[in-house]
Amino acid sequence: MPRKRHPALAAALWGGFIAGTVDIGAASLISGYHPVVILKYIAGGVLGKSALAGDLSVAGLGLLLQWAMSIIIAAIFVLATRRRAALARQWPVWGVIYGAVIFVVMNYVVVPLSALHAKPHFTVFNLIANLAAMLLFGWIVALLASKASASTPAS
């Protein structure tokens, strides 16, 4: 990860791309659906249920939306923890906490307010698996944010 000139920007971008991409794979493994179907569901957040019958361009929109949301989520963490050495040193703990926050916000705020209007309902396995996926997401973001924090000179 290039960190010389804009470490916070690099952390947000790389964190978003990596965590967002891993999240698509995790959703595919958890649900058993092909990643293209997962991406159509993501696009369904703005297009509604018609997205599920869409072509690859709809899946492409889903990918762009996933990366955009992931970069925003990563940027929030990076900016909130920037120049906080204690948070950078304890990135595994803060990554897990942030992952739990992401899980709650995505499942109980973002998805219900989307065009799909989905309400969360989980089996025990799906709850554990989805929570674990978001904890991993938070961990990835926190790790890259800690690297950016370490490379940012104290002011």
**Domain locations in the chain?**
7-150
Q: Are 48 and 116 in contact (CB under 8 A)?
A: yes
Q: Are 103 and 134 in contact (CB under 8 A)?
A: yes
Q: Are 11 and 17 in contact (CB under 8 A)?
A: no
Q: What is the pLDDT of residues 113-155, one digit of tens each?
A: 999 988 998 999 999 999 999 999 999 999 999 888 766 555 4
Q: What is the pLDDT of residue 3?
A: 47
Helix (H, G, I), strand (E, B) or coil at 48: coil
Q: How confident is the model at residue 81 (pLDDT cuts 50, 70, 90)?
A: confident
Please list, in sequence order, all residues whose beta carbon lies within 8 angstroms of the beta carbon of residue 36, skipping any fewer than 6 positions away.
56, 59
Cα-based distances in Å from 40 to 11, 51, 75: 27, 6, 25
pTM of the predicted model, to two decimals?
0.88
Q: What is the pLDDT of residues 4-43, one digit of tens each?
A: 678 889 999 999 999 999 999 999 999 999 999 999 999 9
- DSSP 8-state code for residue 50: G
DSSP notation for 35-47? HHHHHHHHHHHHH
Q: How far apart are CA 34 and CA 59, in angstroms?
A: 11
- DSSP 8-state code for residue 54: -
Q: Taking residues 53-81, what's their average pLDDT?
A: 96
Find the angle CA(69)-CA(71)-CA(72) to the nearest 5 degrees: 65
> Over 60: is that where the pLDDT of 1 sits?
no
Sign of CA dihedral 97, 100, 102, 104: negative
Q: Are 14 and 1 in contact (CB under 8 A)?
A: yes
